[in-house]
Structures are given as structure tokens and as C-alpha cells.
Structure 1
Amino acid sequence: MVTPNTLPPNTNSDDDESSPASVRAAPTSTLLLDAKRKSAFLPYRPQSTVLTNLQRGNTEATFCPVEVTLSFHERAGQGEITEDQVKTELGRHQNIDFKDAHDFTPLHWAASYGQLNSVQLLVSAGAKVNSLAPDLISPLLLAAAGGHNEIVRFLLERGAHSNHMDIVGNTALMYAAAGNHPHTCNELLARDLDFSATNENGETAYALAVEHGAHLAQALLEQYMTAILTAGTFGGI
């Protein structure tokens, strides 16, 4: 196995944007299976949420009392679940992979929003790392799309299928490459996955990085390809 070039240490997600404190939108698929689709690659990106003045903290709650009740799935996406809450939900549903109205599990929510602690609690409670949402979306694909490299590493260590494809053939590496998440790409490439895999449009991870102007991911993939060619050249001597 060719080991990709080591990147500078990174203990955070490739996505440096701060997570909103408001109720999050479900990690619903944006992939539309119709004749108008121009590309097989349409990333699964959680919708942004506009914060109100109250949610930003600009207005005191006493002047505008608002009660927001979050579901367990939403709390998992916010990173606000505890071990006791997980046990309670497990006892209530007999399965921690119970799905919301969009057929996403709590693990899908936590992986999509980069909540490592939630992911760890859920997996410890028996959440299946390869559970599928609509369009064959796995938690690994959502984590890779968001550049949450620590979660990607954790899921892979717990048996997530690195070469799993969504309904149109996109892999976790394709999502990470197109999203310009080099550390996430590095985690995936370390698993000796199929670098040449293509989606239904014949696009590879490298082609998607170029197409989406993902220069950091593109550079990493080029280094990886160079390492493979170099290893092959010296290996034949």
C-alpha cells in the first residue's frame, strides 16, 4: 500500500466554519434523479439556518420568550446528547438507529454536522456505522462531505465501508475531494481504497477536485498519484 504524503497535524475538521447554535436543518439529500441533472455529483450539504437576534444572543429571552424543542436527532446534530439520554432513547426505541421523518438516523445527523462526541456515544450504544439513508447515503459520506476528518477516521476504525457508493456512484473520497478537504482525503487514502473509482458520469475523485476548483485536495491527490507511479517504477527494477 502506498502511503500518501503526510499533511500537517490537524485535530479539527477541514471545514473551519463555526456551527450555528440554532436548530439545524436535516441532512436531507439534494440529489434529484431526473433528466435535468447535469452531473452525477451533487454534494449532500446541510441547509444553512438564519439565526434570529434571540438565537445570536442580541436579545434577552425575557423580552421575547421562545421555547424550542429539539428532537433527539437534532440534539445529536448539535452535539448536545449525553450518555444518559442515549440510554433513555435506546430503552424507548430498542434501537439507537431509529429514523426521523426523512429516514436519517441520529448517527447521520451527528456525522453530517461534525459532532464527534455524539458519534462516539451513538456507536458505543450500537449505532450501525454503515446504516443507509435515502439515496444510499451513509454516515461516512456525510462526514466526508463536511470535511470532518476525525469522524471519518473514527467511522473507518469502526468498520465503515470506505468504498461505499451512493445511488449514483459517488464515494466518500469523491465528496472529500470536491469539497476541498485534504485531511479527510488523507484519512481515506490511508485505507488503500480504490483511487480510480468513477461515478455514473465517469468522474474520479481527482476529476471532481479539478472541476470544483478544490486546489488543496487536488494537490494531495496529485502527490498520491506520484507516489503510486514512483513505487511502481522502483518496484519493477
Structure 2
Amino acid sequence: MDYEQLDDSSTDDKDIKPIIAPKCEMGLSPNLSSGPKRWSPGSLQDANRKSAFLPYRQSLCTVLTNLQRGNTQAETPVPQSADINFHTKAGQGEITEHDIDCEKSVDVCDCHGLTALHWAAAYGQYNTVQLLLANGAEIDKMGPEEETALTLAASGGHHDVIRLLIDKGADVNHPDHLCNTPLMYAARGNHPHSCQELLLHGADFRLHNLNGDTAHVIAVENNSTLAQAVITNFIISQLDPGS
């Protein structure tokens, strides 16, 4: 299977900004990416057990994903000025040095405990992540569910942001409050390039979450075939380095 031809996070070359929806309920689409696939917080539950692999609380208020359900691109309405703030601008990739200087701290949190770095990483805004880190953003600062910027980048399949964060010292095996690692999120989202990036930089495929599942098990159970292939091949290479 030729997963090398696929892009983890988007199939569109256009730079699409997150949609600002002033009147929507608080919360963010569980996917946190610009891709068309979505999954609900209860999607990993079955009749026999409650999965430990549940997404972090949906708490990036007012920002929605770029795509509607399915593969139809949503039109982007004109943002209302009152709804644009430091964090939403980070999600849109529009943070400037002046914006950072105007804040009391580059790590100032929104009303749900998420920083601009969390927002930028969640939406794959490479340049904004780079700018925030250059201005002292705490790379492994945790959100309300103990998620880090790397967790969010992995969930969205933003492998270029993943590489940047790891190069700058992010903990590649950081567990969230349910012991889910970035690799597990990338596996659940079927992001092969992200899985490869994480594995090549020290992600431990042997780690279990609170439900006892590894990243490979999560990929298998959720039919994430591309991610499964990457993880399987990596495991084989570790068992037989000469192969």
C-alpha cells in the first residue's frame, strides 16, 4: 500500500483558515484538523468496555474545522472582529511579534487552559508554532487533559509541526490524562507520515494507555490501515534490524 503519496492532514493545496463561528456552542470538532475525517468522544467505546482512548475535552471555543462532514469544503465566513483574539489568531496562523508583545505572557491561557501554542499546533500552523517557540513558549505545557502541543499536532496529522516540536525538545512519549501518547493519537487518526515521524524520533510503540491498548492495537481496532502498516513495519525492523 502506497501511503507515501498521501498527506496526513489535507488533500487541498489551498491555505484554508479555520472557520470562526461566533454563535456556535463552545467546543471544537473532535478531529482538530483540516481533514475530512471526524470521530466522536464515544467512538472507541463498545458494549463490553469503556475505552481509555478518548479524545481530550473539546475545548477550543468558537473555532471549527475547515471541512463539513464528508469531503465537502465549508465556505469560510468573514470573522467578526470581536471574536478574533490571541488564541484564535494562533489557530488561523496570523500571530505577529506585536501580538505576542501585547500579551502578558506568550503562554497565556484561554478560558479552557489552552495556550496559543496548543491552538497553532492543533491547526498545523507551522510558522506560528515556530514564532511562538522563538518567543519562549513552553513546549510541553499541558492543557486541561494533560495534552501538549505535540499531542494536538499528532491528532491532526500535522507531521511538519510534529518534526518541528520534536526538534525543539518536545517529549515524544508524553501521556495525556488517560496515558494516550502522541503516537496513539496519530494511529487513531490514520496519519502514516505522523506515525513515521514519531517513531523515527523515539516514540515507544510498546506503551499502553489505561485500557491496555498500544498504538498498534488502536490502529487495528479502528481500521487505520495506513498507520497500522507504518507501525507494523517499524516493529519488524526493530525485531530484525538486518531486514
TM range (shorter): 0.7 to 0.9
| Count of aligned pairs between the two proteins | 211
Q: 1:129 to 1:26 in 2, by over 3 A?
A: farther
**Residue 126 of structure 2 corresponds to residue 133 of structure 1:** no
Percent of paired sites with the same residue: 42
Is there any run of 5+ residues in structure 1 with no aligned partner, and where? 1-6
The structure that has the greater radius of gyration is 1
In structure 2, relative to structure 1, the CA distance for the partners of 1:26 and 1:110 (3 Å cut) is farther
Partner amino acid, structure 2, of 1:56: E
Conserved in 1, the CA contact under 8 Å of 2:162 and 2:194? Answer: yes
Shift in Å at residue 191 of structure 1? 1.5
Structure 2 counterpart of 1:144, which letter?
Answer: A
The alpha-carbon deviation at position 160 of structure 1 amounts to 0.4
Seen in structure 2, the aligned counterparts of structure 1 residues 66 and 124 have a Cα distance that, compared at 3 Å, is: closer
- Measure the CA separation in 2 of the matches of 1:172 and 1:155: 12
Q: Secondary structure at the match of 1:132?
A: coil
**Structure with more helix by fraction:** 1
How far is 1:84 from its partner? 2.4
- Describe the shift of the 1:148–1:26 C-alpha distance in structure 2 as closer, same or farther (beyond 3 A): farther
Checking the alignment, whether the CA contact within 8 Å between 1:149 and 1:183 is kept in structure 2 is yes
Higher relative contact order structure (alpha carbons within 8 Å, sequence separation ≥ 6): 1
Structure 1 runs (4+) deviating above 6 angstroms are 28-32
Aligned equivalent of 1:78, options 71, 92, 97? 92
Task: Note if 1:223 corresponds to 2:220.
Answer: no
Contact 1:27/1:109 (8 A) holds in 2? no
Partner of 1:182 in structure 2?
192
Rounded to whole Å, the distance in 2 between the matches of 1:67 and 1:128 is 28
> Residue 212 of structure 1: CA displacement?
1.0
Aligned to 1:43: 55
Amino acid at match of 1:200: L
1:197 is paired with a residue of what secondary structure?
coil
- The residue number in structure 2 matching 1:3 is none
Counterparts in 2 of 1:132 and 1:66: CA distance versus 1, 3 Å: closer
AA of the residue aligned to 1:88: C
Which of residues 208, 212, 226 is equivalent to 2:222?
Answer: 212
Consecutive unaligned residues in structure 2, runs of 5 or more = 31-39, 68-73
